[in-house]
């Protein structure tokens, strides 16, 4: 359960830790980045935690370098966890063949189809194994105050993990999420690969647009999508489907979908609105 | 003189333009990034300009992605220019052999030694050709309000270009600058390669520690160096030599050398203090 710290990097008054650990759910060593804000170094203090789930092809490094969550997190006293996006090096045939399936594309689900069951269990890794390991190793992290956000595939991950686990996360937000994966090429390819053809079962269980229909209680979500995002234009994100489903279920009143003029799918987009998403999480984490 | 715009990317309310142009001083096509803050889009407005000179191995992309200058520049209404660090592809024998000489390592000088005279004229490119091209192509840039900053080799560039050209720049700051190149391995290798053995002439003309001795008038400089910076520890930066020379010349009163605890040489360091350096430039650009 313990972590190996491969680097400690000063950033915005706090520390970015580059960590690795042996994970049983994913059946391999996993790398991640953990940002500890300056407030975490006060003896006896506990800081809340924001998980940031990355998109296709990314590791935990991309957003730690380009996302600028540390800027606001350091001011508000929130730790940021940047996990990897899949198991690595499982030697499953074809795992490195495509950018949108296998390595770098775990989709935050537990695969039910061979051979991916061998370790493509990012759902269990993110919701159970990783937080348990972090909270047992880092006393300065408050296991009672956890929020989640993410980008693209990671926005899908943030929305679905939040909606499937009422109470586990204090808040959720998303950047350009794959909001209706059962109806877009990325999601269909991934779900077919990880779940097989069970479209009425597992597919729907991991589709935010399906899940929001069943949500009970208040639902305050911040979602940013760029109007210049080519993946949005190609119908990979479908935030309108998510909003429509939420509205039909009477859950849309506090879902703030902001269509940001001209922004694309890149970290230039994420970094621009990172402060807003940290502020959204802080409303709940620091309440 | 005109630029080819290969991409326009929304960032912090403004636009990051990826540009290329044919440069005669460097004898090749040069790439750069230009950040136009939102204030630049108001009809008839002119915004001041901050040049950011990058360090060894970098292009204009690294800091545009990881430096966080757009954050503060967008609020203050300052354009940022991120030039490349050398000519590219001149087919000079050995130009790609080392990370600290040739490609990616132009050192912001005009070479006087063959074969580097063929295009290693980054001094002329940065102080004359590039600004002239920018101001003739972008009406929204104010040629009367220009400041300069940079990192490592680019910090050397910022200090020397400022000190050699009184009045050309409104202000200067630097991140981990190579502050006394004639006394460190990086500088000695570069100056020997670009200038030959003329240590009393060209070498000293491009050494900030030598130049600061001759400065007349006020000198308000912000310099950040991380105490965890391995290149500082190895004696590549030597900011103390610069401070000592400035003090002996009576020029040190407003030079603010901040030794930042634990920070390294990376963009995590730069991004942490980018806001401060934009604020330093803004004192003069917006005065």
Residues 6 or more apart in contact with residue B211 via CB below 8 angstroms: B159, B160, B163, B164, B205
Q: What is the enclosing helix (H) or strand (E) of B194?
A: helix B185-195
B163-212 pLDDT, tens per residue? 999 999 999 999 999 999 999 999 999 999 999 998 999 999 999 999 99
User: Chain B: residue nearest A262 by CA?
Assistant: B10
Whether the CB-CB separation of A155 and A269 falls below 8 Å is answered with: no
Residues 6 or more apart in contact with residue B247 via CB below 8 angstroms: none
B35-87 pLDDT, tens per residue? 999 999 999 999 999 999 999 999 999 999 999 999 999 999 999 999 999 99
How is residue B12 annotated by DSSP?
Answer: T
Measured CA to CA, the distance from residue A199 to residue A113 in angstroms comes to 13
pLDDT at A1 over 70: no
- Min Cα–Cα distance to chain A from B63, Å: 10
B4-31 pLDDT, tens per residue? 999 999 999 999 999 999 999 999 999 9
Q: Do A11 and B272 touch (CB under 8 A)?
A: yes
Q: Do A68 and B65 touch (CB under 8 A)?
A: no
User: Chain B: residue nearest A62 by CA?
Assistant: B66
- Min Cα–Cα distance to chain A from B212, Å: 31
Q: Locate tokens 């590039």: which residue? A: B130
Chain B CB contacts of A68 under 8 Å are 68, 71, 271
pLDDT at B1 over 80: no
Q: Do B9 and A268 touch (CB under 8 A)?
A: yes
B262-273 pLDDT, tens per residue? 999 999 999 999
Quote the ipTM score: 0.96
Which of B9, B13, B228 shows the shortest C-beta gap to A264? B9
Q: In B84-216, where do the E strands start and end?
A: 141-150, 172-175
Q: What is the enclosing helix (H) or strand (E) of A30?
A: strand A28-36
Q: What is the pLDDT of residue A217?
A: 82
How is residue A240 annotated by DSSP?
Answer: H
How is residue A105 annotated by DSSP?
Answer: B
Q: Do B10 and A268 touch (CB under 8 A)?
A: yes
Tell me the catalytic residues of A. 152, 229, 265
Q: Do B16 and A261 touch (CB under 8 A)?
A: no
Chain A CB contacts of B267 under 8 Å are 65
């Amino acid at each position: 359960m313990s972590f190996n710290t491969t680097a400690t990097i000063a950033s915005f008054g706090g520390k970015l830790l580059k960590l690795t650990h042996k994970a049983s759910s994913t059946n391999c060593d996993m790398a991640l980045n953990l940002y500890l804000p300056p407030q975490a170094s006060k003896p006896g203090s506990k800081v809340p935690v924001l998980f940031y789930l990355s998109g296709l092809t990314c590791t935990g490094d991309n957003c730690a370098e380009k996302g600028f969550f540390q800027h606001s997190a350091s001011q508000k006293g929130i730790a940021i966890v940047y996990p990897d996006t899949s198991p690595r090096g499982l030697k499953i045939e074809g795992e490195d063949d495509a950018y949108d399936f296998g390595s770098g594309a775990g989709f935050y689900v537990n695969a039910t189809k061979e051979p991916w069951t061998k370790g493509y269990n990012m759902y269990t890794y993110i919701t159970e194994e990783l937080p348990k390991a972090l909270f047992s190793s880092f006393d300065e992290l408050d296991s009672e105050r956890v929020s989640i956000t993410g980008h693209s595939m990671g926005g899908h991950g943030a929305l679905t993990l939040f909606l499937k686990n009422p109470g586990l996360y204090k808040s959720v937000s998303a950047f350009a999420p794959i909001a209706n994966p059962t109806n877009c090429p990325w999601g269909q390819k991934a779900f077919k690969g990880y779940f097989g053809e069970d479209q009425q079962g597992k597919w729907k269980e991991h589709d935010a647009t399906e899940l929001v229909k069943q949500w009970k209680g208040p639902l305050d979500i911040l979602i940013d999508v760029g109007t210049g995002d080519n993946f949005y234009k190609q119908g990979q994100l479908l935030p309108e489907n998510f909003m429509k489903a939420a509205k039909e279920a009477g859950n849309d009143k506090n879902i703030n979908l902001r269509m940001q003029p001209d922004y694309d799918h890149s970290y230039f987009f994420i970094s621009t609105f990172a402060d807003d998403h940290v502020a959204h999480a802080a409303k709940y984490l620091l309440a």
